[in-house]
Amino acid sequence: MKKSLLILFPFIILLSVGKGRAVTKIKQVGFRLLKSIPEPSDIVFDSLNGHYYVVSDHGQLFECDSVFKVLRVAEKEGLDFEGIEIRDSFIYVSDETPREIYKYKRRDLTFVQKYRVSWGGAMNKAFESISFNYKKNCFVLIAQQPPVIVEYDTSFKQISKYNFTNARSIAGARWYNNKLYLLSSLDATILVCNPTTYNVESTFSVNVLNPEGLSFDSKGRIRIVSDDTRRVYYFNQLPISIQ
Amino acid sequence: MIKQLFSATILVAGTFLTAHAQYSEFDGNPAASQFTLSSDANTLQIGGRISGYYENRLLKDDSNYLKKSHNGWAVKDFDIDILGKTANKFVYEFHASLIDLVTAAATGNTAAPQNSGIKEAYIQYKGWPVKIKFGYDKLPYSQGSMSDVWGTPFWSHANLYGGDLFSRRDFGLTLNYRFLNDRFNAYAGAYSGMGENFFEYGNDASGRFEYVGRIEYSYPAKMKYNLIDEENATVPVFRIAADARYADKTQPKGSSIYTDAPDAPGAYGLKIIDGKKLGYGADAIIKYKGFSATAEIHYTQLKPTNLTDGLYNGTDESKNKKVVNSGGFCLGGNYNWEKKHSVFSVMYEEINANDLYVGIQDWMYLAYAYKFSGFNSVAKIEYYMPVTEDKAQAPLHYTGQLRVGYQIVF
């Protein structure tokens, strides 16, 4: 018996060899409890009116003021809203479970139409993030786990697909200053990506439990929502985003 | 009277409100399945799990033990799961262990009568704040039982909550409600009381339910039923919980649970008795930076109706006071070394199945997992050994056991 354990031990050590990656920690400067928003899953900042839009796992879209007081709730509900993006006069929301994209008017949150997208992976590991890549003029939807970046045209017809191996999971995505910022929920990191190749240029760790969505305000300060804590966390600008 | 009120509350609430399988092995789990079909109003996920191991027992030199070796291959899981969600917020799930079904069919359900082969078969509605679930699933009792063993380096649950002392699954109605910003999570339910043998025998002759309740407090975030800190929590997060269960299964004249449903009482005769049973327990878990520590304690007070009941072990009423006590505790520690894809676990438990029999059991477990793709594709090695053997109630033919195997979740 002791022999068999001794034989197995070196294999365990050999298998345990891995590799690391440089990560810069950024400090949280505050948080706010989102009492009126159950299970917040993504957030986006509207530079036109200074409002935030937050979506919930309960299939709801909320419009909030700058201190996250709920101003409006979209009448049309989905099943499992996980990602949100603003483009032109519309707000696009990813409903993860049924694999659908809801389109709302930015002005009054009235529902416009739905698009069907396709992801065959686990029911709860599909498109938790949606953003617009202005460099390639396409939407990017990212399957959460294992992370796969899928590009869609403006009518949500699939263009191409990239396996993303730099994180265990991706739960949020946001376009800012000509870069795509991805948020890993399992690793609690923000990954700054080249918008053409999606190669990671830098990585920052955030002190947040299960972060699900991120946004930048007009000054480039980061806001991150967490479903598990029902909070929005405040961070200052990333060292690169103020360059 | 209290029980009738409880039943009425559950039935009324069930009429207006609804349930939530937060401890489903395939609904929202970090290592969930990978095939989903969707149509306009329905989404269907198909998943499953296959695993097996090589087992090596260190056998005692016991001339009375005819089965000299227990060593060889074993199939642990051959499971299939179908999870559906509808646009109007209904959820349904069917989870079967094909290996248990085949074993039960081949042996007339004598090989492992506690493993019927059906693991989950329920419907639930998630559209209201209080969620209601109807069907067969894990009971909201015991953190270790509600947590999936496949998401740990171990190959099986601890004896304390592995299904010998109390049932882990049953058919019934469950209410679930989160409140105070999701910090509190409460469950209440009424079940057949037949546990895993519900499909074999149906309801018992008493016509009464078993009632189960559980309340949890988590801070600073709600927690899933995963014992390993795969998220490498950036701040300490913990959950404490208390749970209780009660059943009065006093049999009517002419009926006997022991002859009508001989498999239902389980290995120690504790899971359903002709009489009253009150169980309660508490558990806790804390996770931080890959470390997790768990603690759990359970106690059951049993009052068999007949003094000739085997649970009394032939003792006089002056000694047993018409009460049998059962229970134990379990402590665990784990470290998820994510960079090395490795998880190390240690666990210690002590159980006293029946205080009217001499002897207790203490067990030590050591385990390691190398995750090729999380717990979806993982090699696991486990070694466990009795520290104190209960020769009266659970005599052993071995002094330790090693299991080495592989697991795929799809």
pLDDT in tens, B73-114: 999 999 999 999 998 899 999 999 999 999 988 888 888 888
Put simply, whether B25 touches A (Cβ < 8 Å) is no
pLDDT band at B28 (very low <50, low <70, confident <90, very high): low
ipTM rounded to 2 decimals: 0.84
The β-bridge partners of B336 are: B343
CB pairs under 8 A between A and B: 109
Would you state the pLDDT for residue A8? 52
Question: Which residues on chain A are in Cβ contact (under 8 Å) with B32?
Answer: 122-125
| B20 pLDDT above the threshold of 60 | no
Rounded to whole angstroms, how far apart are CA atoms B133 and B137?
A: 9
Helix-then-strand count for chain B, H and E: 6, 17
Average pLDDT over residues B122-138: 95
Please provide the size of chain B in residues.
410
Q: What is the pLDDT of residue B8?
A: 46
The mean pLDDT of B218-229, rounded to a whole number, is 94
The total number of structural domains that make up chain B: 1
Nearest-CA residue of chain B relative to A79? B87
CA–CA separation, B265 and B277 (whole Å): 12
Do the chains contact at A12 and B381, CB–CB below 8 Å?
Answer: yes
Taking only residues 79 to 108 of chain B, the set having a beta carbon closer than 8 angstroms to any beta carbon of chain A reads: 83, 85, 87, 89
Cβ distance B219 to B237 under 8 Å? yes
Residues 29-88 of A with CB under 8 A from B: 33, 35, 38-39, 79
pLDDT value at residue A232: 97
- Examine the pLDDT at B132 and tell me if it is beyond 60: yes
Verify whether the Cβ–Cβ distance A124 to B181 is below 8 Å: no
| Band of residue B152 on the pLDDT scale cut at 50, 70, 90 | very high
Query: What is the pLDDT at residue A137?
Result: 97
Token pair 């009277």 is at which residue?
Answer: B1
pLDDT in tens, A71-80: 999 999 999 9
Separation between Cα atoms, residue B193 and residue B212, nearest integer Å: 10
Higher per-residue pLDDT: A64 or B397:
A64
Residue A20 touches chain B, beta carbons under 8 Å: yes
Residues 125-154 of B with CB under 8 A from A: none
Q: What is the mean pLDDT of residues B118-146?
A: 96
Whether chain A has a CB inside 8 Å of the CB on B402: the answer is yes
CB B409 within 8 A of CB B375: yes
Closest B-chain CA to A99: B38
CB-CB contact of A106 with A84 (8 Å): no
Please tell me if residue A14 touches chain B, with a CB cutoff of 8 Å: no
Please provide the average confidence, as pLDDT, over all residues in chain B. Answer: 90
User: Is A12 an interface residue toward B (CB < 8 Å)?
Assistant: yes
Region for residue B259 given its phi and psi (left: phi exceeds 0; alpha: psi -120 to 50; beta: otherwise): alpha
Q: What is the pLDDT of residues B175-194, one digit of tens each?
A: 999 999 889 999 999 999 99
Residue B100: CB atoms within 10 Å: 22
Band (pLDDT 50/70/90 cuts) for residue B35 is confident
What's the pLDDT tens digit per position in B355-375?
999 999 999 999 999 999 899
The string of pLDDT tens digits covering residues B155-182 is 999 999 999 999 999 999 999 999 998 8
> What's the CATH number where B405 sits?
2.40.160.10
pLDDT of residue B25: 75
Query: Per-residue pLDDT averaged across B298-317, rounded?
Result: 96
Q: What is the DSSP letter of B61?
A: -
Mean pLDDT of B65-74: 74
Quick check: B28 contacting A, CB < 8 Å? yes
Give B393 to chain A, closest Cα distance, Å. 27
Q: Residue B210's closest CA among B256, B243, B186?
A: B243
Q: Are A31 and A233 in contact (CB under 8 A)?
A: yes
Q: Does B368 touch chain A (CB under 8 A)?
A: yes
Q: What is the 3-state secondary structure (H, E, C) of chain A?
A: CHHHHHHHHHHHHHHCCCCCCCCEEECEEEEEECCCCCCEEEEEEECCCCEEEEEECCCEEEEECCCCCEEEECCCCCCCEEEEEEECCEEEEEECCCCEEEEEECCCCCEEEEEECCCCCCCCCCEEEEEEECCCCEEEEEECCCCEEEEECCCCCEEEEEECCCCCCCCEEEEECCEEEEEECCCCEEEEECCCCCCEEEEEEECCCCEEEEEECCCCCEEEEECCCCEEEEECCCCCCCC
Q: How high is the pLDDT of residue B112? A: 83
Band of residue B251 on the pLDDT scale cut at 50, 70, 90: very high
pLDDT for residue B40 is more than 90: no
pTM of the full predicted structure? 0.89
Is A124 an 8 Å CB contact of chain B? yes
> Domain A21-235 - what CATH class?
mainly beta
Asked if A206 lies within 8 A of B370 by C-beta distance, the reply is no
Q: Whose structure tokens read 């191996």?
A: A165
Look at strands A200-206 and A24-26 and give their pairing.
Answer: parallel
Residue B301 clears pLDDT 80, i.e. is over it: yes
Radius of gyration of chain B (CA): 21
What is the distance between the alpha carbons of residues A122 and B34, in angstroms, rounded to a whole number?
Answer: 4
Of the candidate ranges A19-28, B61-70, B188-197, B333-342, the one whose mean pLDDT is the lowest: B61-70
Kindly determine whether residue B220 and residue A209, on different chains, have CB atoms separated by under 8 Å: yes
> Which of B83, B231, B234 lies at the smallest CB-CB distance from A123?
B83
Asked whether residue B262 carries a pLDDT value surpassing 90, the answer given is yes
> Which of B55, B234, B385, B402 should one mutate to test binding to chain A, selecting the residue with the greatest count of A CBs within 10 A?
B234
Q: What is the pLDDT of residue A163?
A: 95
Taking the Cβ of residue A125 and every Cβ of chain B, the question of whether any pair is shorter than 8 Å is answered with yes
* pLDDT for the residue B347: 98
Please state, for a pLDDT cut of 90, what percent of chain B lies above it.
78
Contact B226, B30 (CB under 8 A): yes
DSSP string, B133-147: EEEEEE-S--HHHHS
Q: Is B223's CB within 8 Å of A145's CB?
A: no
At B380-395, the pLDDT tens digits run: 999 999 999 998 888 8
> Is A123 close to B30, i.e. CB distance below 8 A?
no
Contact A79 B85 (CB under 8 A): yes
Q: Which residues contact A7 (CB under 8 A, 6 or more apart)?
A: none
State the Cα–Cα distance between residues A61 and A42, nearest whole angstrom: 10
Interchain proximity B36–A4, CB inside 8 Å: no
Domain spans in chain A, listed from the N-terminal domain onward: 21-235
- Pairwise CB contact (< 8 Å): A16 & B342: yes
Contact across the interface for A210 and B231, Cβ inside 8 Å: yes
Q: Which pLDDT score, from 0 to 100, does residue B105 have?
A: 87
Q: Does B109 touch chain A (CB under 8 A)?
A: no
Q: Kindly state whether A5 is in contact with chain B, defined as any CB-CB distance less than 8 angstroms.
A: yes
* Chain A residues close to B43, C-beta within 8 Å: 97-99, 123
**CB neighbours of residue A88 within 10 Å:** 8
Residues of B in contact with A124 (CB under 8 A): 27-28, 32
Shortest CA gap B87–chain A (Å): 6
Can you give the pLDDT at residue A241? 52
Residue B82's domain comprises 2-409
Contacting B residues, span 295-354, partner chain A, CB-CB under 8 Å: 337, 339-342
Which residues of chain A are under the pLDDT cut of 70?
Answer: 1-21, 241-243
CA–CA separation, B198 and B193 (whole Å): 8
* Average pLDDT rounded to a whole number, residues B1-14: 45
